[in-house]
Amino acid sequence: MKNLLAVVGWIALSPATYGQGEIHFRNDPTTLISAGGVPMPGSSIQQFIFAAFLAPATTVSNTGVQVAFSDPRFQVVEAYNTNNQLAAGRLVTRNNVTTSYSVGPVDFIVRGWSANAGTTWQAALATWNNGSPLEPMFIGSSIVGNDLWIAGDLPMWPLFGIGQDQGQVPGFDMSLVPEPSSLVLAGLCLAALWSGRTQHERRGYSAAASASHRNFTAKRERVVWAW
* Gap between the Cα atoms of 142 and 138, Å rounded: 14
Residue 183's pLDDT is what?
52
- DSSP-derived letter for residue 92 is P
**Is a pLDDT exceeding 70 seen at residue 30?**
yes
Residue 163's pLDDT is what?
75
**Is a pLDDT exceeding 50 seen at residue 178?**
yes
**Is a pLDDT exceeding 60 seen at residue 177?**
yes
**Is a pLDDT exceeding 70 seen at residue 221?**
no
Confidence of residue 7 (pLDDT cuts 50, 70, 90): very low
Across 4-8, 81-85, 206-210, least confident range? 4-8
What is the average pLDDT across 122-140?
97
Across 17-26, 36-45, 69-78, least confident range? 17-26
Residue 155's pLDDT is what?
76
**Is a pLDDT exceeding 80 seen at residue 11?**
no
User: What's the pLDDT tens digit per position in 160-171?
Assistant: 998 777 899 999
Position with higher pLDDT, 111 vs 154: 111
Q: Are strands 173-177 and 34-35 parallel, antiparallel or unpaired?
A: parallel
C-alpha pair distances (Å), 76 with each of 49, 55, 64, 137, 200: 15, 9, 21, 21, 57
* Gap between the Cα atoms of 159 and 108, Å rounded: 8
Residue 152's pLDDT is what?
74
Largest CA distance in the chain: 124
* Gap between the Cα atoms of 110 and 49, Å rounded: 10
User: What's the pLDDT tens digit per position in 31-73?
Assistant: 999 999 999 999 999 999 999 999 999 999 999 999 999 999 9
**Is a pLDDT exceeding 50 seen at residue 88?**
yes
**Is a pLDDT exceeding 90 seen at residue 133?**
yes
Confidence of residue 179 (pLDDT cuts 50, 70, 90): low
Q: For the whole model, what pTM was predicted?
A: 0.73
Residues in the chain: 227
**Is a pLDDT exceeding 80 seen at residue 222?**
no
**Is a pLDDT exceeding 50 seen at residue 5?**
no
